[in-house]
A and B are shown apart, each in its own frame.
Chain A
Amino acid sequence: MKKLLLASTLLAAMTGSAMAAGDEVKIGVLLGYTGPIESLTPDMAASAELAFKEASDSGLLLGGKRIVPVRADSTCVDSAAATAAAERLISSEGIAAIMGADCSGVTGAVANNVAVPNGVIMISPSATSPGLSSIKDNGFFFRTSPSDARQGQVLADVLKSRGIREVAVTYTNNDYGKGLADSFGSAFKVGGGKISITAAHEDGKADYSAEVGALSAAGSKYLAVFGYLDQGGKGIIQASLDSGAFENFVLADGMIGDSLIQAIGKDLTGAVGTIAGARSKGASTYEAMAAKAGIKKDGPYVGESYDAGALIALAMQAAGSANRAAIQSKIMMVANAPGEKIMPGEIAKGLKILSSGGDIDYVGATNVEFNEIGEVLGTFKEVEVKGGKFETIKIH
């Protein structure tokens, strides 16, 4: 028995280091396909897979290898199931890297218990909890969405510059919403702003009239909504407009997307918000690509997902192999300056430069630039709803 066990562990270890054998490379796409954000994840996964396909179709990746995405369910909330799914990806499917996970809770569990110990990188497109900045990740955890701490500051500045002195705040009751509400609250108060009421809302629950009632009773003219555009956040805005409670909205990144305007209509005109990314060519190129591929282009975190996928493919090329540790060592190089700037849809170009020994600076859909701990610095754009779409006003 012992021998058998030994033999098979050996076998697994061998495949772990030499997965690139054959003409396929597997990459895990670990997102919550079931559970609270099950409605967001299919588009996020499709977006990452779009980047993989682009790399594969170019025929340039590691001399013509194809990336095979392997989806696994993080459930968003069940750390135990997410850990098992990640373990399956790493030790059984033999993936080279993980694009994921999504919610901050399971992301922390997977990073600490599976990815870091096994020396596999994770690039999360959506875990924004400031707490993840301080995990012991040995350089294996990256995220393409900025930490909430920064956005709160930017949003507070935007409001001050517009002369808005008092807001009511509602946030989705999870680490994203709460973290953002905290950081926004402290930043806003420093400059003399006043928050008349802070009320949490739960996503996917029955009714939001109580929240709207309480928020409106506090007497502010502006309502800041830190939630998701197809979840409770939308429900709150709809209910506020329906009951005439608020007409002016302040939106955080999770709320910004054309589908919100489609759902709410012209009443949303004048709403201001912040979203990660610069007014780059990249963002609009990506949107056209996503639309063509049938992906909700403005859904939360889809651009970030594409970038996470693209970074993995590019780092692999830079490393010259699908070896896990080698990929890790190249992420910073391909993501950061110096080098030729790479936009969405230009993965082939990037692969080509890398294979000839050049250096690239991946910009992507969301203007990726990592700091020393593998987090995007977070340029935010200030947007306003004008004429039925979000228009970029200024870059912060």
Chain B
Amino acid sequence: MTDVFNAIILLSNFVIVPGLTYGSQLALGALGITLVYGILRFANFAHGDLMAFGTMVAVLITWWLQSMGVSFGPLPTALLALPVAIAVTIAMALFTDKAVYKFYRKKRSAPAVFVIASIGVMFVLNGIVRFIIGPNDQRFSDGERFIIKARAFKQITGLNEGLAIKVSQGLTIGITFLLVGAPFWFLQRTRTGKAMRAYSDNEDLALLSGIDPERVVMVTWIIAAALATIAGTLYGLDKSFKPFTYFQLLLPLFAAAIVGGIGNPLGAILGGFVVAFSEVGITYAYKKFLGYLVPESWEPDGLLQFLSTDYKFAVSFIILVLVLLIRPTGILKGRVI
């Protein structure tokens, strides 16, 4: 029986907890992408760099707070900085909309034109972030690091395997689950949310029924920017903040959004977890796990690894391509515009 527990804990420690954390981080980012896609109808390539921008603001404010001696007890100070960072990022998002996207919206340009404009915004944000904070790795986490440590877990339970959960992991998973419901509730229940859905379904009809399109667009950007800042900051707390990494996140984020069904908020969350768990699960070596479950003589010689970690980043794209081929609307049916 202990062996079964050991096996479960082993899998939790190396597959389930990391998968949940990484999945949550992807889910929050993908939520922003999917929202912009669903309502403004284009794939926003600048989202990764918007996340980097938001996180940069949070890092700067955190440093200022830390220098003032403010702390948040066991929790990271960055959480206190978050509201201001969100406000600044929202201002940035609204500014890019006014300066760039609004023009094409008026002209009713093709989605591809928006995508290319977002590539331009991506380049500019990329430059701005490096200009202000530089390209380096920045650490800004403080407070307690662990909810439970692997060694402590072993002592308490007497098991062979330990389970570690970091504060940042707990925060990420917790906040994601809190926020999962929010956009859904907002879109289904509030007046503005309903207006947004109407606008997304049929722009002309929405205009006829007196919905103010600029307001819908504004609210969309506000939510997207807020999500980007939260996702970016949580990600930075869990790992560390480095502008280049955020650009690299863009591709897994898109994979998550599309796999789940782009334009569908629940899909983005599901997609995030699918991508994260497949990356972790497919490249995990199951030798030790099975070692606990099967009799010794059955124990396999190989590592029982489906795919070497070299191909970890290809996994999300392979899933993406498969989903696009078999079910182009994603796992949960996304909005097809």
Contact = CB atoms under 8 A, between A and B. Distances in A.
Interface string B270-305: 000000100110011111110000000000000101
A164 interface: no
6 contacts: A36-B244, A210-B309, A219-B288, A243-B13, A243-B18, A244-B154
B137 A213 contact: no
Given A39-B137, A197-B303, A204-B245, A217 B150 contact: no
Contacts of B235: 206
Interface string A225-243: 0000011000100010011
Contacts of A213: 14-15, 18, 280, 283-285
Given A214-B285, A244-B164, 12 more contacts: A38-B130, A38-B135, A39-B242, A42-B134, A199-B309, A206-B25, A206-B235, A206-B239, A207-B25, A210-B283, A214-B284, A219-B287
Nearest to A33: B135
A263 B140 CA distance: 11
Contact of A217 (B136, B139, B164, B286): B286
Contacts of A200: 308-310
Interface residues of B, number: 48
Contacts of B285: 197, 213-214, 217-218
A34 interface: yes
A132 interface: no
Contacts of A239: 18
Contacts of A207: 18, 22, 25, 239, 276, 279
Given A207-B239, A214-B285, A263 B139 contact: yes
Interface string A195-214: 00101111011110111111
Query: What are the 10 closest A-B residue pairs judged by CB atoms, nearest first?
Result: A244-B150, A209-B18, A213-B14, A217-B285, A38-B135, A244-B162, A199-B309, A39-B136, A210-B280, A207-B22
Max chain B CB contacts within 10 Å: which of A207, A219, A245, A263? A207
Contacts of A74: none
A216 interface: yes
A173 interface: yes
A204 B248 contact: yes
A260 to B, nearest CB: 12
Contact of A199 (B13, B149, B244, B308): B308
A176 to B, nearest CB: 16
Interface string B148-184: 0111001000000010101000000000000000000
Main SS of the interface on chain B? helix
A206 B287 CA distance: 25
Interface of A: 34, 36, 38-39, 42, 173, 197, 199-202, 204-207, 209-214, 216-219, 230-231, 235, 239, 242-245, 263
A5 B284 CA distance: 63
Contact of A209 (B14, B286, B287): B14
A214 B286 CA distance: 8
Interface of B: 13-15, 17-19, 21-22, 25, 130, 134-137, 139, 146, 149-151, 154, 162, 164, 166, 235, 239, 242, 244-245, 248-249, 252, 276, 279-280, 283-289, 303, 305, 308-310, 312-313
Given A206-B22, A244-B13, A245-B14, A214 B248 contact: no
Contacts of B242: 39, 204
B137 A230 contact: yes
Contacts of B309: 199-201, 210-211, 214
Contacts of B139: 263
Given A206-B248, A242-B164, A218 B18 contact: no
A210 B134 CA distance: 29
Contacts of B288: 216-219
A40 B188 CA distance: 48
Nearest to A265: B145
A235 B239 CA distance: 7
Contact of A205 (B21, B154, B245): B245
A219 to B, nearest CB: 6
B242 to A, nearest CB: 7
Given A197-B303, A218-B287, A243-B164, A38 B18 contact: no
A206 B248 CA distance: 7
B252 A206 contact: yes
Nearest to B135: A38
Given A202-B313, A207-B279, A244-B150, A34 B135 contact: yes
B248 A210 contact: no
A342 B101 CA distance: 61
Contacts of A219: 287-288
B135 A39 contact: yes
Contacts of B14: 209, 212-213, 216-217, 243, 245
B166 to A, nearest CB: 6
